[in-house]
Amino acid sequence: MYMKKVIVGVSGGVDSSVALILLKNEGYEVEGLFMRNWDSLVNNDILGNPTLDNQICTQEEDYNDAKAVCDKLGVTLHRIDFVKEYWDYVFTYFLDELKKGRTPNPDVMCNKYIKFDLFIKEAKKLGADYVATGHYARIENGNLYKGIDENKDQSYFLSQLSNEQLKNVLFPVGNLNKEEVRKIARDYDLVTKDKKDSTGICFIGERNFRQFLSNYLPNIPGKIVNIETNEVLGEHIGLMHYTIGQRKGLAVGGTNDRLFVVGKNLNDNILYVALGSDNDYLYSDSCIIDTLVLNTNDKIVNCQAKFRYRSKDIPVSIEYLDNDELLVKYTNGKSITPGQVCALYDGDRCLGSGIIKEVRKNNEKLWYLL
């Protein structure tokens, strides 16, 4: 009897480790594939500066954990390098967006161009009938749905994937919550059973972000200005280090006021702030999104939108524009920012997403948002 073969993207974390177990227990022929997407020395050579980013990467530790898990479970582990591809398709995009003063999401692009494109092609070379990852999401009738665990749901990061990319993809942990996943890992006494979740940029890991980023983009200090009074309050370290709604990290001396980032002026290198978490400058009522991936044949009129990972879904209405863009209308949207992903939902079903191009209020673009 032919056993369907599944190639699992094994990261060295607990979720993909448990995905291996679940699929083996279902009777699949299972093999693992570890992706190496970041190499400081290679990337520094691209920039012609061998001294950049000499911090030890955690990927070798992750590989060792992945190998230990696969060895314990009797699973073959393959390894593939996508270092150049990650630089070309993900990190370059990340840097370019930051240069424009926008707030990009490299993890979304990593899923779109690496994990569910190049990885799938490599898995097919290994004879895969299916590909699986440890994402907290579900696929039903060929469509993407949120994971059962609301606190861990990762459909937002998968929202730029087409249904074509999701063909023959499995998300084994999508019907479990995190504690259930941890319990399975402990029952099998895996080395990853108590390993904490990664929180850094996809494949780059946790590190001093400001220091790391300064290796690739120069810090250009400028003025911090109160947008309401035009008063200069201090100096920022570089616009790329701030996003709309941010409070921490503002170098403003001599005040205990609760100041929040509300905008940027790229030409004059100004960071705009305003007082209070409910100041009017943080709110908008619509945005234009492009770079659309929509997985429905129906014209979307009313649905829900998620503008940041872990943010609450809010009701929106949709208007179709020229140039494959959508106008997304809502009430009192807060800290909605150019460059972010706007994921669209019908309940738990993810309909797709776009990238926020422009934020508006009262039918006009907000001049203080790039």
User: Is the separation of the CB atoms in 217 and 237 below 8 Å?
Assistant: no
- Give every CB contact of residue 160 below 8 A, 6+ residues apart in sequence: 108, 109, 111, 112, 291, 293, 341, 352, 353
pLDDT digits (tens, 9 = 90+) for 292-348: 999 999 999 999 999 999 999 999 999 999 999 999 999 999 999 999 999 999 999
User: Does residue 370 lie within any of the structural domains?
Assistant: no
Same-domain pairing of 143 and 244: no
User: Does residue 195 lie within any of the structural domains?
Assistant: yes
User: Is the separation of the CB atoms in 116 and 7 below 8 Å?
Assistant: no
User: Does residue 105 lie within any of the structural domains?
Assistant: yes
**CATH at 328:** 2.40.30.10
- Per DSSP, the three-state class of 292 is strand
**CATH at 234:** 2.30.30.280
Q: Which residue has the higher pLDDT, 334 or 209?
A: 334
pLDDT digits (tens, 9 = 90+) for 243-297: 999 998 887 765 657 999 999 999 999 999 999 999 999 999 999 999 999 999 9
Same-domain pairing of 184 and 90: yes
Q: Which amino acid is at 235?
A: E
Q: The tokens of 332 are what?
A: 């009192």
The per-type count for the chain, helices as H runs and strands as E runs, is: 9, 18
User: Does residue 345 lie within any of the structural domains?
Assistant: yes
Among 232, 253, 275, give the residue marking a domain's end: 275
Q: What pLDDT does residue 214 have?
A: 85
Please give the share of the chain, as a percent, with pLDDT higher than 90: 84
- For residue 150, the enclosing domain spans 5-210
Among 241, 257, 275, give the residue marking a domain's end: 275
Burial label, 240 (beta-carbon count in 10 A; 0-12, 13-18, 19+): buried
Q: Which amino acid is at 22?
A: L
Same-domain pairing of 183 and 41: yes
User: Does residue 103 lie within any of the structural domains?
Assistant: yes
User: Does residue 107 lie within any of the structural domains?
Assistant: yes
| DSSP β-ladder status, 232-236 and 222-226 | antiparallel
Same-domain pairing of 202 and 258: no
User: Does residue 69 lie within any of the structural domains?
Assistant: yes
Task: Please give the average per-residue pLDDT across 217-237, as a whole number.
Answer: 95
Same-domain pairing of 251 and 196: no
Same-domain pairing of 205 and 155: yes
Same-domain pairing of 95 and 147: yes
Q: Which residue has the higher pLDDT, 39 or 186?
A: 186
Q: Which residue has the higher pLDDT, 231 or 214?
A: 231
Q: The tokens of 337 are what?
A: 């920012």
Same-domain pairing of 83 and 12: yes
pLDDT digits (tens, 9 = 90+) for 84-111: 999 999 999 999 999 999 999 999 999 9
pLDDT digits (tens, 9 = 90+) for 13-61: 999 999 999 999 999 999 999 999 887 555 554 454 544 444 445 778 8
Q: What pLDDT does residue 180 have?
A: 98
Q: The tokens of 312 are what?
A: 């609450």
Same-domain pairing of 264 and 290: no
pLDDT digits (tens, 9 = 90+) for 112-153: 999 999 999 999 999 999 999 999 999 999 999 999 999 999
Task: Please give the average per-residue pLDDT across 215-231, as a whole number.
Answer: 95
How many separate domains does the chain show? 3
Q: The tokens of 43 are what?
A: 């990337």
User: Does residue 184 lie within any of the structural domains?
Assistant: yes
Same-domain pairing of 244 and 193: no
Same-domain pairing of 77 and 154: yes
Same-domain pairing of 201 and 230: no
Q: Which residues are catalytic?
A: 110, 202
| DSSP β-ladder status, 137-140 and 143-146 | antiparallel
